Amino acid sequence: MQADLLNLNELFDITEGYIHVHGRRLVLHATNAFAQFRKDLIDMIGKKRARRMLTRFGFFWGQADAATMKRIFQWKDRLEWIKAGPKLHTMSGVGRVTVKSLDVDYDAGTFDMQIYLHNSCEAEEHLSIIGRSDQPACWKLAGYMSGYASYCLGKSVYFIEERCEAHGDGYCVFVGRDAESWDERLNEHLPFFEAEDIKGNVERLTQELRRKTRELARHRQELGLMQNAHDPFFAEAKSVSYSHIMHLASRVAQFDSSVLITGETGVGKEVVARYIHRHSHRDKGPFVVVNCGALPETLLESELFGHKAGSFTGATRDRIGLVEQANHGSIFLDEIGDISQNTQLKILRVLQEKEITRVGESEPHKIDVRVIAATNRDLPKAVVEEKFREDLLFRLRVIEIEVPPLRERTEDILPLARYLIDRLAKKLNIPKLKIDATCVDYLQTYNWPGNVRELDNALERASVFSQDGVILPENLPPEIVHAVTSRAGTTDPLSRTLAQMEQDHIRTILKLTNGNRSKAARALGISTSTLWRKLKEIEPETENDD
């Protein structure tokens, strides 16, 4: 066989959906997609790495072609086999290839070949998307020629492109020599043929990525330790009102003023307080939480301010109070509206004089602490009723942040529920815990008097009762489901008959059992035939069975 006699039709077998050269499959590609791919490669991994990858891609392609040519034909001599490479390139549309010179000395083992290429597809790819190149850019083709010749010679042959259409030359010129015959010019081209560096780089990058991942995990862990159970709600809330609070809290955090956080029970006042602390200059200091409503007056006082041994029965040793423990940090006084007049006065002193006196001592201690207080009570009203000191209210309420109840920001319910579910999945070890879509209406319609805390508790209960980790409406606390279904009906009890109540209840149960009548009948404590009869009364046209 001679290279000149190669014929496209004989070589390529094209049947529907399958093109091959004697069993080696080929696919026709659009070169503009390749051009885009080339640009992506350069953008993503840099020009040098892109060139290396494309050179090696070409090298493998050339090797495979040389092997196929050897397998299919009996060549007149090895030179014809070598020349078949450029011929194949011409035939497959790479460009018009001319072998300008070819000199092989088998005894000396030397190889020297010069190839001209007109209308290079690769130069066109480069020009079309990247533009004129500052150096020859037919990387795949130089790789191809090297791979082809190396296979034929059984030793390393390298082609260097000396002129290129992409560089502004009239045509591309490639010179190929065996490694020993090349001068030092080869050195700058050699790395593009080698795989080691790619592997090394990938390994280096992988290690770097692993290190970063570990760092991130550690960072997250630290963050997790800093945040308490109710903390990350901030990130989950999507409503306008909550983002306003977040903005306010960030702003307030920068100043040392006292903050009063108001809102119903369970709205997450402590979350806001922690957020303020964490974003303040005191973030390296302690954050101490005191639930003022949980302790009787005498105990609260010694908890807050500490005591001297023997100052009261049971005080066997000196003790530092929580206010002192919060020194250089922040103290969060929850349910401040519940404290006695006496304790109010002492807290006022912390705010005014920045000092405390331990129970049973007369010498005050200097203290540097930021007070963040919270209440679900109407403090101005308590002032009018003389239950709360007006001067303390003014001191506490330098800045007031009101956290709205969950029912006034329904768009926060689902994101919060999903966040809580993720947390519960870990806590209860139910890996695939999720809320079924049928629960969404119930969660969003219920008015959540206990706010986020109630949502959390309701979801925990539902998780425990869920089957295979899927929370269905029937797993939700009954008050949530009932509140929603009764809202759908008439709300005025005086205008409802017993029959209407019964019908509503049947509808609720059917909804909860996804229309399964056997289950519904069991839940209602009646037989399926009774249920069927009652259903006919409700909706006479309903005839389908379960």
Q: Which tokens in the block code for residue 264?
A: 């119903």
Helix (H, G, I), strand (E, B) or coil at 119: coil
Under 8 Å CB-to-CB from 149, ≥6 apart: which residues?
Answer: 62, 66, 82, 85, 111, 113, 157, 159, 176
Question: Minimal distance in Å, beta carbon 81 to Zn ion?
Answer: 24
Q: Is 164 in the site for Zn ion (CB under 5 A)?
A: yes
| Type and span of the H or E element at 111 | strand 110-118
Which region, judged by CB under 5 A, interacts with Zn ion, from 159-167, 184-192, 484-492, 522-530? 159-167
**With contacts defined by CB under 5 A, how many residues of the chain interact with Zn ion?**
5
Residue 31 CB, shortest distance to Zn ion, in Å, is: 14
The rounded distance, in Å, linking the Cα atoms of 300 and 322 is 10
- Asked whether 81 and 166 are in contact (CB, 8 A), the reply is no
Nearer to Zn ion, 80 or 124 (CB): 124
Identity of the residue, 97 or 396, whose beta carbon is nearer to Zn ion in the bound complex = 97
Number of alpha carbons in the 13 Å side-chain half-sphere of residue 41: 17
Query: Residue 544 region, left (φ>0) first, then alpha (ψ -120 to 50), else beta?
Result: beta
For residue 55, state whether it binds Zn ion (rule: CB under 5 A).
no
Under rule CB under 5 A, residue 120 binds Zn ion? yes
Cβ proximity to Zn ion, 104 vs 142, nearer residue: 142
Of 138 and 413, the one with the shorter C-beta distance to Zn ion is 138
Query: CB of 173: closest distance to Zn ion in angstroms?
Result: 8
Nearest CB to Zn ion, comparing residues 164 and 379: 164
The 3-class SS string of 296-342 reads CHHHHHHHHHEECCCCCCCCCCCEECHHHHCCCCEEEEECHHHCCHH
Smallest gap from residue 161 Cβ to Zn ion (A)? 5
Span 201-220, contacts to Zn ion by CB under 5 A:
none
Q: Which stretch binds Zn ion (CB under 5 A): 20-28, 131-139, 191-199, 414-422?
A: 131-139
Pick from 234, 232, 285, 283: nearest CA to 401: 234
Q: How far is the CB of 220 from Zn ion (least distance, A)?
A: 50
User: What are the residue ranges of helices labelled H in 7-138?
Assistant: 8-11, 31-45, 47-72, 78-91, 121-129
> Cα(488)–Cα(370) distance, rounded to whole angstroms?
48
Smallest gap, in angstroms, from Cβ of residue 111 to Zn ion?
Answer: 21
> Of the two residues 69 and 127, which places its CB atom closer to Zn ion in the complex?
127
Of positions 6, 123, 435, 506, contacts Zn ion by CB under 5 A: 123
Binding residues among 165-184 for Zn ion as defined by CB under 5 A: 172
**Of 123 and 157, which has the nearer Cβ to Zn ion?**
123
Q: Which is nearer to Zn ion, 100 or 220 (CB)?
A: 100
Stretch near Zn ion under the rule CB under 5 A, chosen from 116-124, 247-255, 330-338, 449-457:
116-124
The token duo for 460 is: 């925990």
> Residue 426's CB: how many other CB atoms inside 10 A?
10
Rounded to the nearest whole angstrom, what is the least distance from the CB of residue 48 to Zn ion in the complex? Answer: 18
Least Cβ distance, residue 215 to Zn ion (angstroms): 44
CA dist., res. 157 & res. 164, Å (int): 20
Contact footprint for Zn ion (CB under 5 A): 120, 123, 138, 164, 172
